[in-house]
Structure 1
């Protein structure tokens, strides 16, 4: 990639993207894709999770038919040349790699290109690798009917964004894990029972009757939940629990 300076418009796009991304957002991956669509005009995208063995799974998609994703997962995933384990020699230096960046011989005779991409009218696929501590933790892939590469200015923007996004995505995953740990280790079995009934809208009296305990005991459990979640009413409790769980 040649050396050049980003213009003011590109800087503003990067800053706008950063402003749009919220670690605590329940729909973090979907919001990332929507931000890419709004700011860069990308249309068909997947946001994949990636495990420690560099396997992709659980995609969140926008503007891609479910049947296409299923066909890819069932029949063509391993034929895809733009996968983390196939590009591990490139990823340390570059985070944005397109199919058209590879030597033609690597994809033009490839089953993925000829049997899958052409079937759905896709002629380019660009992957944005999210790397944290040398491990790929996620991947955003952009499909295009355009036979040209993404222009160099956009690629540079995406290279910068990929570093920022990797850190934010790591924080998002950590936040979700922290929430699960909290539920498993900080609440007593009875508190979890009471909490589920509170979430369903039952009163203290109804909860007491269903659990065969006194109303005062239910009140003590509810107050304990308030203290642990740092809230002071049922509505705030349910809202905070919902954020933890999602």
Structure 2
């Protein structure tokens, strides 16, 4: 993806979040893009603690009732209450995740281009706000058309392959670790996905800190996210 395209995606997400949350109160929300396999990628978080997002990615994403892979066609605005019955949710693993983090309700907005889901917005209400009401859901339905209209000029039909340029030279394994960390994975998740030991993951992180000129994973994650917004990717060691 070019620098201008990545900047357009970030600007699109920020404008949409501001518009939606200005009309429908939420506790937190997240924007994400969706790849060809309907997997969420490249999150932009709004008032969501990083540790909650990391906990979600590490243990609960695949059992999320609102995962975009479950809604490949037709659905635009999906409240949690329509995806799964309240009683079943309370008894489920995902319901326990929501309760643990004080989430009262979630609504997903799926954005399509060319008939396929290319992005989504997760809107989360805490216990202080309670569930989304019928009038608020109707407002989200109306807003959804504007989100898709704006997407036509800002979101790509398909995510570009994560191939690097010459900005920072990384080994193939360092690049894999960096991309997973950028998407919010914790050390244990990185180790599991890449079939590495935790000490090896920590060694790769130390190398990444040095190459990016940062002191810790928080600074590295911030740098990686800013680079994503500006279209920067990471070149291989020759």
TM-score computed with the length of structure 2 as normaliser: 0.57
RMSD between superposed Cα atoms in Å: 3.1
**Which residue of structure 2 lines up, in the alignment, with residue 64 of structure 1?**
48
TM superposition shift of 1:108: 2.2
Count of residue correspondences: 157
Q: Distance in 2 between matches of 1:81 and 1:26?
A: 26
Query: Are 2:126 and 1:145 aligned?
Result: yes
Mean Cα displacement is larger for which, 94-103 or 133-142? Answer: 94-103
Higher helix proportion: 1
Q: Distance in 1 between matches of 2:102 and 2:10?
A: 33
Contact persistence 1:45–1:142 (CA under 8 A): yes
**Which residue of structure 2 lines up, in the alignment, with residue 77 of structure 1?**
61
Q: Deviations over 1:188-246 (max 9, x none)?
A: xxxxxxxxxxxxxxxxxxxxxxxxxxxxxxxxxxxxxxxxxxxxxxxxxxxxxxx9858
Q: Distance in 1 between matches of 2:10 and 2:33?
A: 15
Q: Larger Rg: 1 or 2? A: 1
Which residue of the other structure, out of 15, 25, 32, is the alignment partner of 1:31?
15
Inter-CA distance 123–43: structure 2 relative to 1 (3 Å threshold): closer
TM superposition shift of 1:38: 2.0
Inter-CA distance 52–144: structure 2 relative to 1 (3 Å threshold): same
**Which residue of structure 2 lines up, in the alignment, with residue 46 of structure 1?**
30
Unaligned runs of 5+ in 2: 1-6, 160-228, 233-238
User: What pairs with 1:69-148 in structure 2 (closer than 5 Å)?
Assistant: 69-88=53-72, 92=74, 94-101=75-82, 102-114=84-96, 116-146=97-127, 148=130
Q: Distance in 1 between matches of 2:154 and 2:89?
A: 34
